Structure 1
Amino acid sequence: MMHADLIDQDDLLGQLRALGFEMPAGATAEQACECAVRGLDRGRAQALRKMVEQMLTGSATILPAVRQAIDRTLLPALAQHFKQA
């Protein structure tokens, strides 16, 4: 039996919480990403950027809902944050 490394909604929420981002219990991937980008400061943006880079370049498969939340929310917010910095 093969086991694939998957990044699901729970993994995303866990990684965001590990970085210190707060979000409501039961948040969807989209809601979690929206919470993470509110009030980004330089340090948190750097940590979030590193997390996203690791997720996107790693060998794990990112489930579609998680990938969509990253693409729609995290990437544009990070691009905007670093463009202004």
Structure 2
Amino acid sequence: MMHADLIDQDDLLGQLRALGFEMPSGASAEQACEYAVRGLSEPRAKALKGMVEQMYTGNATILPAVRQAIEKQLLPALAEFQNR
């Protein structure tokens, strides 16, 4: 039996919490990303960028809802932050 590594909503929440972002329990992937980009600072932006790069270049499959939340919330916020 094959076992695929998946990044689901719980994984995303866990990774964001590990970076120091406060997340309400039961938050959706989109809500978690919304919380993460609020009050974005230089250190937090770097941490988020690293997390996203690691997720996208790793071997794990990012579930569609998580990928959509990252692309809709995190990537635009990080691009805007970089352009300041």
Q: TM-score range by the shorter chain?
A: over 0.9
For residue 10 of structure 1, give the secondary structure of its aligned residue in structure 2.
helix
User: Hey, what's the Cα distance between the residues in 2 that align with 1:15 and 1:28?
Assistant: 14
Structure 2, unpaired ranges of 5+: none
Structure 1, unpaired ranges of 5+: none
Count of residues in correspondence between the two structures: 84
User: Hey, what's the Cα distance between the residues in 1 that align with 2:42 and 2:34?
Assistant: 17
CA RMSD of aligned residues (A): 0.4
TM-score (norm 1): 0.97
Matches within 5 A, 1:52-63: 52-63=52-63
Q: By how many angstroms is 1:72 displaced?
A: 0.2
Q: Deviations over 1:4-45 (max 9, x none)?
A: 010000000000000000011100000000000000000010
- Answering whether residue 76 of structure 2 is matched by residue 76 of structure 1, we say yes
Amino acid at match of 2:50: K
Identity of aligned residues (%): 77
Q: By how many angstroms is 1:56 displaced?
A: 0.7
Moved over 4 A (4+): none
User: Hey, what's the Cα distance between the residues in 2 that align with 1:75 and 1:14?
Assistant: 19
